[in-house]
Structure 1
């Protein structure tokens, strides 16, 4: 059975790109533009890893990551942002990795593969 990735991204073009890239790598994807919807999706589905945009309109990605870490401690979490200045201490963010969106998508895909080993 393939691993399932939840993509939480409010920017539609980026969300569709990530869905395509992860699907091409053999992962099953579920995506949403909303942090609140992500919580509902996790209640109804087994998810192995979540990529979470930090800046979203309905719920900050840092807040969402913290909530998910408490409720789903085994869930792997990657925070995505357009801003490199967020890169600080990941342990305070309840995330396993941090990727700047402008980075090569190969970095993100390799990080996903490493976390899902």
Structure 2
């Protein structure tokens, strides 16, 4: 079964870029421009991994992360931020985010990280 990746970012260009990259990697991708939609997709599609922007109008990344973890405590989340807000990044890590990327990020590094985390999950299930 294909792994599912949810991309949450208020910037359309970033969502499209990431969807193209991860579709070409063979993943099923979903996108959300805001927290409300992200949480709906989380409940209906149960993605394996979420790429989550820190700064989203309405509900910020930390708030979305808290809700994602309430829905599925085991969800893998990688944060994205355009800012070097170390306190927010630290809080996101404390809330269970795996890692973060600062924009503009290296798309190959992100691809490798997503593959690594999704593959690690598969390896855990096999052992």
Same fold judged by TM-score > 0.5? yes
Residue ranges of structure 1 left out of the alignment (5+ in a row): none
Residue ranges of structure 2 left out of the alignment (5+ in a row): 120-127
Q: Which runs of 4+ in 1 moved over 6 A?
A: none
Contact 1:4–1:27 (Cα < 8 Å) also in 2? yes
Contact 1:5–1:47 (Cα < 8 Å) also in 2? yes
Q: Which has the higher helix share?
A: 2
Alpha-carbon distance in 2 for matches of 1:62, 1:39? 13
Whether 1:18 aligns to 2:32 is no
Alpha-carbon distance in 2 for matches of 1:102, 1:91? 20
Deviation at 1:63, TM superposition (A): 1.1
Contact 2:6–2:29 (Cα < 8 Å) also in 1? yes
> What are the residue-to-residue correspondences of 1:1-117 with 2, within 5 Å?
1-86=1-86, 87-88=89-90, 90-117=92-119
Q: How many residues align?
A: 117
Contact 1:36–1:58 (Cα < 8 Å) also in 2? no
Q: Judge which range, 62-71 or 107-116, deviates more.
A: 62-71
Alpha-carbon distance in 1 for matches of 2:36, 2:91? 25
TM-score normalised to structure 1 length: 0.92
Alpha-carbon distance in 2 for matches of 1:106, 1:62? 25
- Residues 52-79 of structure 1: CA distance to partner in whole angstroms, max 9, x if unpaired? 1000002100111122113211210000
Contact 1:7–1:18 (Cα < 8 Å) also in 2? yes
TM-score normalised to structure 2 length: 0.85
